[in-house]
Amino acid sequence: MITLFMRGSNESVISSRWMINKHIAYGSGKGANIINPSQYAFPYHPEEVKILRSLIKQVRIIIMKQDIIPSELTDHQIAEFINVKLCPLKTAILMSKHFSFKQLYPEIFAKRGCNDDTDLGIARTMLTIAPLPITTKDGYQMIYVRFEKFEKLSTAILPCCRYIALAMEALPISTGLIPGHIILFDFSHVKNEYFGILKIVEYQNMLNYIQEGSLLNIKQILMFSRKEFKLFQFLEYLEPLFENGFMNKVLFCQLGIKELALIIGKDKLPRDLGGNIGTVKEYEECFYRVIVRTRKWIYKNQEKCTLINGY
Q: Which CATH number characterizes residue 137's domain? A: 3.40.525.10
Phi, psi of 139 (to 5 degrees): 85, 15
Q: State the SS3 of 116-128.
A: CCCHHHHHHHHEE
Amino acid at 172: P
Q: How confident is the model at residue 12 (pLDDT cuts 50, 70, 90)?
A: very low
pLDDT of residue 222: 74
Q: How far apart are CA 206 and CA 81, in angstroms?
A: 25
Q: Does residue 194 fall inside a structural domain? A: yes
Q: How far apart are CA 126 and CA 153, in angstroms?
A: 7
Buried/exposed 18-33: b ≥16 CB within 10 Å, e otherwise: beeeeebbbbebebee
Residue with more model confidence, 298 or 113: 298
Average pLDDT value for residue range 161-188: 62
Q: Does residue 42 fall inside a structural domain? A: no
> What mean pLDDT is reported for the chain?
55
Number of neighbours of residue 137 by Cβ within 10 angstroms: 12
Q: Is 191 exposed, middle or buried (0-12, 13-18, 19+ CB in 10 A)?
A: exposed
pLDDT of residue 308: 29
Q: What is the pLDDT of residues 55-76, one digit of tens each?
A: 455 545 544 554 444 445 555 5
Q: Does residue 251 fall inside a structural domain? A: yes
Give Cβ neighbours of residue 246 (< 8 Å, ≥ 6 apart): 204, 207, 208
Residues 282 and 270 sit within 8 Å (Cβ to Cβ): yes
Q: Does residue 243 fall inside a structural domain? A: yes
Give Cβ neighbours of residue 80 (< 8 Å, ≥ 6 apart): 31, 172, 173, 174, 175
Helices (H) and strands (E) in the chain, counts: 12, 8
- pLDDT surpassing 50 at residue 46: no
pLDDT of residue 101: 35
- pLDDT surpassing 50 at residue 94: no
Tell me if residue 268 falls in helix, strand or coil.
Answer: helix
Number of neighbours of residue 95 by Cβ within 10 angstroms: 24
Residues 294 and 94 sit within 8 Å (Cβ to Cβ): yes
Q: Does residue 307 fall inside a structural domain? A: no
pLDDT of residue 279: 84
Q: Does residue 27 fall inside a structural domain? A: no
Q: How far apart are CA 42 and CA 109, in angstroms?
A: 13
Domain with 122, as residue range(s), is 3-18+87-288
Q: pTM (2 decimals)?
A: 0.55
Q: How far apart are CA 14 and CA 222, in angstroms?
A: 15
- The share of the chain scoring above pLDDT 90, in percent, equals 0
Q: How many residues in total does the chain contain?
A: 311
Residue with more model confidence, 84 or 38: 84
Residue with more model confidence, 214 or 116: 214
Q: Are strands 127-135 and 141-147 parallel, antiparallel or unpaired?
A: antiparallel
> Of 214, 221, 211, whose CA–CA distance to 251 is shortest?
221
Q: Is 288 exposed, middle or buried (0-12, 13-18, 19+ CB in 10 A)?
A: middle
Number of domains present in the structure of the chain: 1
Q: Does residue 69 fall inside a structural domain? A: no
Q: Does residue 29 fall inside a structural domain? A: no
